[in-house]
Structure 1
Amino acid sequence: MSINLPSQRGRGRRAPMADINVTPLVDVMLVLLIIFMVTAPLLTAGVPVNLPDSRAKPLEQDQKPVQISLDDKGKLFVDDDEISDAILPDVLQQIAKKAEAGQPPQVFLRADKTLNYGRIMRVMGELNRAGLNRVALVTVGDDTK
């Protein structure tokens, strides 16, 4: 082992230290990684729906879609707000009016797989009547190929 002793040739000046301690940087990065890994699954949609499986490819999006969800009890949600069937046409008309300048917004319809088919089709009929024709049915990706 060697010991660094100050040399007398530099007239009392110390040589600049060229070592960088990366241990604190690695520690901070690992903590941030763990935080993101824990919080990322919590950023999904707020309404719990048991979606059916599908082998379809995901859609590309250009703007934030409107999410309409039907849970297993038949409750209707627009984004995360629960609404009744009676005010659904009015809510959809307001969404269509906001986007009249350009093309209508993308609508993601999420419905529990145990629901009656007629219930889902009534919601799709209201979407069509409001002029919201860009509807995508959301499913869970099937990993078996």
Structure 2
Amino acid sequence: MAFGSFGHKPNSTPMTEINMVPLIDVMLVLLVIFIITAPLLTNSVKINLPQASSAPTQTEPRKIDFAINDQGQIFWDGEPVTMDQATARLVEAGQQTPTPELHVRADRDTRYQVLAEVMAAASRAGVSKLGFVSEPVAR
């Protein structure tokens, strides 16, 4: 190790060695601290906790089968209704939670005006889930 002196020697060179003693002392102190505190961090008390299911209950929205034939007659779940009755039922359905799904089945020859009136009434009533039912093409 190199020790410095207060006296000035005429041909002395500057000290080029690093004093490692303080660094080793600090590392040993940190090692002792970690050895003492590590078991304290992993110590825990074992407790038997009750188990509970946290899965929310899913309620399926009701599906309303809404059909329109080629003469413009309206059917609510297979029951013939007028446009006023259908509008009143759509308002009731729009207030339910969850909002039911409206499945519209329209004949190929149904006038677009009747279909547009039904969609507008459903929108005003708050029924936001609307789907069209069709039959697949036979090949």
Amino acid across the alignment from 1:95: A
**CA offset at residue 87 of structure 1?**
2.2
> Higher relative CO (CA 8 A, sep ≥ 6), structure 1 or 2?
1
The 5 A counterparts of 1:1-145 are 62-97=60-95, 99=96, 101-102=97-98, 104-144=99-139
**CA offset at residue 142 of structure 1?**
2.4
Give me the whole-angstrom Cα distance separating, in 2, the residues matched to 1:76 and 1:63: 22
Q: 2:46 maps to which residue?
A: none
Number of aligned pairs? 80
Pairwise CA RMSD: 1.5
Amino acid across the alignment from 1:79: D
Q: Which stretches of structure 1, 4 residues or longer, exceed 6 Å deviation after superposition?
A: none
Tell me the TM-score normalized by structure 2: 0.53
Tell me the TM-score normalized by structure 1: 0.51
- Give the greater-gyration-radius structure (CA): 2
Q: Which runs of no fewer than 5 residues in structure 1 stay unpaired?
A: 1-61
Give me the whole-angstrom Cα distance separating, in 2, the residues matched to 1:70 and 1:123: 10
